[in-house]
Amino acid sequence: EIVLTQSPGTLSLSPGERATLSCRASQSVSSNSLAWYQQKPGQAPRLLIYGASTRATGIPDRFSGSGSGTDFTLTISRLEPEDLAVFYCQQYGSSPYTFGQGTKLDIK
Amino acid sequence: QVQLQESGPGLVKPSETLSLTCTVSGGSISTYYWSWIRQPPGKGLEWIGYIYSSGNTHYSPSLKSRVTISVDTSKNQFSLRLNSVTSEDTAVYYCARDQRSTSCYDFWGQGILVTVSS
């Protein structure tokens, strides 16, 4: 089973700043099968990025993904107050599909 | 726009069976994979398993001995059964659609909280 470790656990930034979230896998993720989700309080997760770097339908270009192998990054440029959420990475390259423990993004 | 809606009991007794149904609207259940994912209160996400519209299934090894996922294409629904539940199974259960050609999830239900308690 691939274990995903996200860092930092919590990130506190101001509107307009850039957020950089990390996801590290315990072994290489097959075919860069890595997704990022945003979960706002009381809501279901929303798909942001798949294939490590492809934005899902309707996702603004403030959100970008990068990385390969075992190290992946989600970058949110120009933070907005509504970006407050927990962000999860997920690998779907090998079963069982696994999620990271999440990074909580606080907007000051 | 595809919509998913979970339904079922919100309270299940220990050792009994948790049963949930996901109703898909705004699109056909055919030719897609459909998954169940759960989230214990205040914790992260756990993949449970998926089913293809033809009925083929694949489950998480940690739950495989207790899980059954089934599909009813005539009703555009798929279902989850988890038997011999304990308090560790208390969670929000989500149904979701696998994005075509991947196993990440582009449409989600709102989630249903299932509490295991006597």
Name residues whose C-beta falls within 8 Å of residue A42's C-beta, 6 or more positions apart in sequence.
none
Residue A63 has a pLDDT of 98
CA distance B44 to chain A (A): 5
Kindly report each contact of residues B52-59 with a partner whose C-beta sits within 8 Å and lies 24 or more positions away, as own/partner.
Answer: B53/B29, B58/A95
Between strands B11-12 and A103-107, the pairing is: unpaired
| Strand-pair partners of A45 | none
Per-residue pLDDT tens digits for B27-57: 999 989 999 999 999 999 999 999 999 999 9
What is the Cα–Cα distance from A89 to A24, expressed in whole angstroms? 9
Q: Mean pLDDT throughout A9-19?
A: 96
Per-residue pLDDT tens digits for A52-89: 999 999 999 999 999 999 999 999 999 999 999 999 99
Residue B102 has a pLDDT of 86
Q: Mean pLDDT throughout A7-22?
A: 97
Kindly state the DSSP code that residue A97 receives in the 8-state scheme. P
Q: What is the mean pLDDT of chain A?
A: 96
- The CA-CA-CA angle for residues A34, A39, A41, to 5°, reads 165
- The reply to whether residue A45 touches residue B108, judged by beta carbons under 8 angstroms, is yes
Q: Which residue of B has its CA nearest to A50?
A: B104
Per-residue pLDDT tens digits for B56-98: 999 999 999 999 999 999 999 999 999 999 999 999 999 999 9
Task: Please report residues of A whose CB lies closer than 8 A to that of B62.
Answer: 96
Facing B45 at nearest CB: one of A1, A45, A50 = A45
Facing B45 at nearest CB: one of A1, A88, A92 = A88
The Cβ of residue B44 has, within 10 Å, a number of other Cβ atoms equal to 16
Cα distances from B53 to residues B6, B90, B93, in angstroms, run 17, 28, 20
Q: Which residue of B has its CA nearest to A87?
A: B44
Per-residue pLDDT tens digits for B89-108: 999 999 999 988 888 999 99
Between strands A46-50 and A34-39, the pairing is: antiparallel
- The percentage of residues in chain A with a pLDDT greater than 90, rounded to a whole number, is 97
Residue A71 has a pLDDT of 98
